[in-house]
Amino acid sequence: MSKLKELLKSLFPEKTAEIDKVELDEQGLTIPKNNSSIDPAIEELKQLVKTQQAEITKLVNELTQVKDKELQNHKLLEDKAKKERTDSIDAIIKKAIEEMKIPAKNDQLIAQYKNILDKDLDAGKIVIENLQSAGKNPGSGESNQSQNNNSGNNSGMKSSLGRGDKPFLKAILERNEITA
């Protein structure tokens, strides 16, 4: 084996130091004499790759936690919005029942109004606000009893304008017909 080394040294005199570092076994395979032939830059690079992989894993875990928290917050906000909307609908229905615009015992009608409010809260609110109370005469906006007391008097029309029991424009048109 030393003959092979001598041959290599004669062919490549500039590589003599490197040839001395290599040992040959019986089969002619090269075995490095020590581990100093491994480039330290490669070891440093391997260590850097391991560090980067650990950092990436840490960042992925943190991002997953942030995303989970965002989903939880989004769900809480949705639940809060649904609850507020439901509370608002219930308050509108309760007010309409108190004002006797919707019969309290008619669950089917209440459910229909809730459905209307759920689909379009603003439009449903306007519809319910413009309902006539059960004790009101739709022609004048006053109760039957007060119309009997004021039967020849047009003062009832003036009070209905201020209270907003019927649409403002309709009240003006009716007042103009009376005075004309």
- End-to-end alpha-carbon separation of the chain, Å? 132
Beta bridge partner(s), residue 166: none
Specify whether the CB–CB gap between 141 and 160 falls below 8 A: yes
**Residue 66 confidence class, pLDDT cut points 50, 70, 90:** very high
pLDDT tens digits, 42-53: 888 889 999 999
H helix runs in 99-163, sequence order: 107-119, 121-129, 144-149, 155-163
Q: Is this model's pTM higher than 0.75 or not?
A: no
* 164 Rama class: left (phi>0) / alpha (psi -120 to 50) / beta: left
Neighbour count for residue 100 (Cβ, 10 Å): 14
pLDDT tens digits, 69-116: 999 999 999 999 999 999 999 999 999 999 888 888 889 999 999 999
